[in-house]
Chain A
Amino acid sequence: MKSRESFARLQDYYDLAVKAPFGIFRKPFYFRETIEQMDYGGSGSLFIVFLVSLFIGMALSLQTSAELAEMGLKMYTGRVVGLSIIKEIGPVAIALSFAGRVGSGMASEIGSMTLGHQVDILRVHGVSPIKKLVSPRVISSIIMLPVLTVIGDAVALIGGYFVAVTAANQSGSVYWSQIKQIMEFTTIFSGVIKPFIFGYLISTISCYMGLSTRGGARGLRKSTTEAVVYSTIMIIISDFMVTKILIMALGIPV
């Protein structure tokens, strides 16, 4: 019974995840809702992204320069920090913050609409909840998470620079020249492609959890928690898979 239920849920999620992105190609278009969601998910997340990225960049730079100093390789701090931030830590850390702030918000908002029969009202009035509620959130996440990631990466590199110069007594120009060297197509592409996938996963999982909310306040708590938990798990798993695929596709030697 439980496995049948899980299979049915997976099927419902698949249905939502396939239909949602194509919602923008068919009338009616919900531009206002999409812009609202972009504002909430994008501009609204700037502060948390700024803080998270700044301190990650600073901690990483401190840790890296301490380790490299022992081997006499401190001048490579910029290179290590840059590669780690742009390819891995930046996209993942910002996606996790996004899941915590925006994903949980999506699940609780849609969940409370489901419990309050507002989703039923949409269906009664012939409006598809996927088009009206899910598509704007998915589209806005796919657009805004990469933008936030680029901003977060830049802030993290600046934080790393600040620590490298002030705490680790390195030359600022060496730090930036190291980062300049790694700014190749493969590095940037690896870092920028991931947030598109993470944004899609976070928004579809969170909206699905919201729409499948049952059982009052306790059910709402469960669906909000599940949205963040499943998003986190999927971010980590998909990060590994995308990295593996990119290494194979771009022919990077391991």
Chain B
Amino acid sequence: MIEFRNVTLAYGRNVVLKDVSFMCQFHEKIAVLGGSGGGKTTILKLMLGLIKPDSGQILVDGQDITVMSESELRDIRMKFSIVFQEGALFDSMNVKENVAFSLREYTKSSEEEIDKRVRDLLKILKIEKAIDLMPEELSGGMQRRVAIARSLAGCEPKMMLYDEATTGLDPLTADNICNLINELSKGEPPGRVGFIIVTHKVTDAAKVAERYIFIRNGNIIFDGNIDELKKTEDATLKKFINELYVVDGYA
């Protein structure tokens, strides 16, 4: 279980999160929504211990990660896999080396084993032909797929974290990525691999998530399911989900 307890964080004078508290299970399918610069990605980084809050606690399986050292955080981070916006692939490495990165760093696998694992993953993600390409030769959608393959290569995560996984992609590619996200999190709780997707595209969130958290000005102003979201009386939220009505044909 993951729990944020009264977490506050500011970058200089800009307060990104104000006294934020929420709880979730590893198997949940959560979308964190909000405007740009609203602190959505910050939540993912806090969850992995990549940044520390100014105050408050973040508990992962009952352990407060805000007081942990880098080496102690390693075990916590093994429970997650993250896919950053635009993939964050290493530009000096080709697709195979990018995907094999964690296998080479973490494990003592032989080159044959690494090669097999990389090819298997690329096949699952339908990008096996891109194995020798460099990141700059890949389209946006392919970069996200390679990033997902890399995040899955070295460990078996309990939860996937997607940072703007569909941003900047055309609707068809975004749809493919959403299908892939659903595919990777299939099954029934509590055994399934859950995810938190951070996005400002509510239509994409609706294709994958079961729970929605909306952040505005550093506060959580909504936490619930899609039906509750559609019934909201909040003006900003209504504007945000208008897009959803158009797609659903409600407008």
Chain A residues packing against B (C-beta within 8 Å) = 28, 116-118, 120-121, 123-128, 214
Contact = CB atoms under 8 A, between A and B. Distances in A.
B239 to A, nearest CB: 27
A124 B70 contact: no
B127 to A, nearest CB: 18
A125 B101 contact: yes
B106 A126 contact: yes
Given A120-B48, A121-B88, A123-B70, 13 more contacts: A116-B86, A117-B85, A118-B89, A120-B50, A120-B84, A120-B88, A121-B90, A121-B150, A123-B50, A125-B101, A125-B102, A126-B78, A128-B70
A120 B82 CA distance: 10
A42 B3 CA distance: 50
A125 B106 contact: yes
A120 B45 CA distance: 9
B154 interface: yes
A127 B74 CA distance: 9
Interface residues of B, number: 23
Contact of B77 (A117, A124, A128): A124
Given A120-B45, A120-B50, A126 B105 contact: yes
A121 B89 CA distance: 9
Contact of B84 (A117, A127, A214): A117
A214 B16 CA distance: 15
B106 A118 contact: no
Contacts of A120: 45, 48, 50, 82, 84, 88
Given A116-B88, A117-B88, A118-B90, A124 B105 contact: no
A126 B88 contact: no
Nearest to B150: A121
Nearest to A214: B11
B27 to A, nearest CB: 21
**Interface pairs A-B: 6 shortest CB-CB:** A117-B88, A117-B84, A126-B74, A125-B102, A118-B88, A121-B88
B50 A124 contact: yes
A124 B160 CA distance: 12
A214 B42 CA distance: 14
14 contacts: A117-B84, A117-B85, A117-B163, A120-B84, A120-B88, A121-B84, A121-B88, A123-B48, A124-B48, A124-B82, A125-B102, A126-B106, A127-B105, A214-B11
Counting chain A CB atoms within 10 Å of each CB, the highest count among B74, B150, B163 belongs to B74
Contacts of A116: 86, 88
B85 to A, nearest CB: 7
A210 to B, nearest CB: 15
Contacts of B78: 126
B70 A125 contact: no
A125 B50 CA distance: 12
Q: Which of A116, A125, A214 has the most CB of B within 10 A?
A: A125
A95 to B, nearest CB: 27
Nearest to B98: A121
Contacts of A28: 105
Contacts of B74: 126
A120 B77 CA distance: 11
Nearest to B73: A123
A128 B73 CA distance: 12
Interface string B39-69: 0000001001010000000000000000000
Interface string B142-171: 000000001000100000000100000000
Nearest to A115: B88
Interface in B207-249: none
Interface in B75-106: 77-78, 80, 82, 84-86, 88-90, 101-102, 105-106
A193 B30 CA distance: 58
Nearest to B80: A124
Contacts of A117: 84-85, 88, 163
A66 B106 CA distance: 65
User: Which one of B85, B88, B89, B106 has the highest number of Cβ atoms from chain A below 10 Å of its Cβ?
Assistant: B88
A125 B154 contact: yes
A116 B45 CA distance: 14
Nearest to A120: B50
Contacts of B89: 118
A187 to B, nearest CB: 42
Nearest to A215: B11
A122 B65 CA distance: 18
A123 B105 CA distance: 11
Contacts of B163: 117
A117 B45 CA distance: 10
Nearest to B78: A126
